[in-house]
């Protein structure tokens, strides 16, 4: 909806054209609104940390769409970055962003979202501008990119599948949750991703744990060979739920392949099938 609207955000918010109104953090409520880096559209300040808490009405979930992203670029986003969390306290991080490649809409599992921007001593851009909106939970799987999946079974797919090519430069995060005494099965029904000998560009990576770091990676896939099914069993030290977090990252050059995956949450019955033991598992699809 917002994509069809032409606006000058600092003009709309203040009523005085050219006067930035975005402060460093704050508490935001209501059905819709905008947040921006301190001083946007001017250069954001150095050595700062700004925290925004977004709350929408109960019964709805938060959707956040970046309109502008212009931060210091780094392949690991170690210096200047924006973190987005699902909820306020101990929330799952939906993504960390820097540079100029905008993610697609990020969707929380509930009515709260936390946005944190951190800058180091050297700044390199105008920061960010994002719009938030309250959406109905059932819209997460189709209209929006990402969200929480806690039903006994479900399907995740790349944006626009199967009608159109997916857009470039977006990131999607899905949270798949099952009770401790159940397993999650990840089964790819369609897999056609840009081929590279080292899967450096478009790829699917499976991680054992909530962090997408090399030490936790248990698989990385690309090309057109469908990966084998993955089943995740909670470890003996797990808590009340098992989380699988697929993050879909589209690179700006884009490709026209699609991926569709089905996630079955099944009871943990006796089986001879080999399973990976983990409490929190990440699946990262980058393209």
Provide CB contacts within 8 A for 114, sequence distance 6+: 51, 52, 53, 54, 83, 84, 85, 87, 88, 91
Cα separation of 227 and 154, whole Å?
18
Q: What is the mean pLDDT of the segment spanning 121-150?
A: 73
75, 77, 83, 86: CA torsion to nearest 10: 40
pLDDT, tens digit (0-9, with 9 covering 90-100), for 56-112: 999 999 999 899 999 998 877 889 999 999 898 777 788 888 888 887 678 888 899
Pick the CATH number of 147-287 from 3.20.20.70, 2.60.120.290, 1.10.10.10, 3.60.20.10: 2.60.120.290
Per domain, the residue ranges of the chain are 6-144, 147-287
pLDDT number for residue 49: 96
Q: Are the beta carbons of 281 and 209 closer than 8 angstroms? A: yes
Q: Give whichever of 21-30, 96-105, 158-167, 239-248 has the largest mean pLDDT.
A: 21-30
The yes-or-no verdict on residue 181 having pLDDT over 80 is: no
Confidence (pTM): 0.54
Pick the CATH number of 6-144 from 3.40.50.2300, 1.10.3720.10, 3.30.420.10, 2.60.120.290: 2.60.120.290
Q: Are the beta carbons of 43 and 56 closer than 8 angstroms? A: no
pLDDT number for residue 141: 43
Other beta carbons within 10 Å of 263 = 22
Other beta carbons within 10 Å of 215 = 8
Identical fold for domains 6-144 and 147-287, yes or no, is: yes
């Amino acid at each position: 909806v917002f994509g069809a609207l032409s606006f000058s955000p600092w003009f709309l918010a203040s009523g005085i054209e050219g006067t930035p109104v975005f402060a460093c953090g704050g508490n935001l409520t209501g059905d819709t609104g905008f947040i921006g880096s301190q001083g946007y559209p001017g250069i954001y300040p150095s050595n700062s940390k700004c925290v925004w808490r977004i709350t929408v009405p109960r019964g709805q979930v938060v959707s956040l769409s970046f309109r502008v992203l212009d931060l210091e670029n780094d392949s690991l986003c170690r210096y200047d970055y924006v973190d987005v969390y699902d909820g306020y306290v101990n929330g799952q991080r939906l993504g960390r962003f820097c540079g100029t490649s905008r993610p697609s809409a990020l969707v929380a599992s509930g009515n709260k979202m936390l946005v944190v921007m951190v800058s180091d001593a050297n700044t390199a851009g105008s920061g960010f501008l994002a719009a938030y909106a309250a959406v109905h939970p059932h819209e997460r799987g189709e209209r929006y990119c990402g969200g929480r999946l806690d039903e006994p079974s479900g399907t995740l797919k790349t944006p626009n599948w199967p009608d159109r090519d997916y857009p470039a430069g977006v990131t999607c995060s899905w949270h798949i949750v099952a009770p401790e005494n159940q397993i999650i099965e990840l089964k790819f029904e369609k897999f056609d991703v840009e081929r590279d000998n080292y899967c450096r560009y478009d790829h699917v990576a499976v991680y054992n744990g909530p962090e997408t770091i090399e030490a936790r990676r248990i698989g990385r896939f690309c090309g057109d060979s469908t990966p084998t099914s993955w089943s995740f069993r909670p470890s003996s030290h797990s808590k009340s739920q098992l989380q699988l977090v697929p993050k879909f990252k589209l690179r700006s050059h884009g490709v026209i392949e699609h991926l569709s995956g089905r996630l079955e949450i099944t009871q943990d019955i006796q089986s001879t099938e080999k399973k990976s033991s983990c409490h929190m598992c990440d699946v990262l699809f980058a393209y």
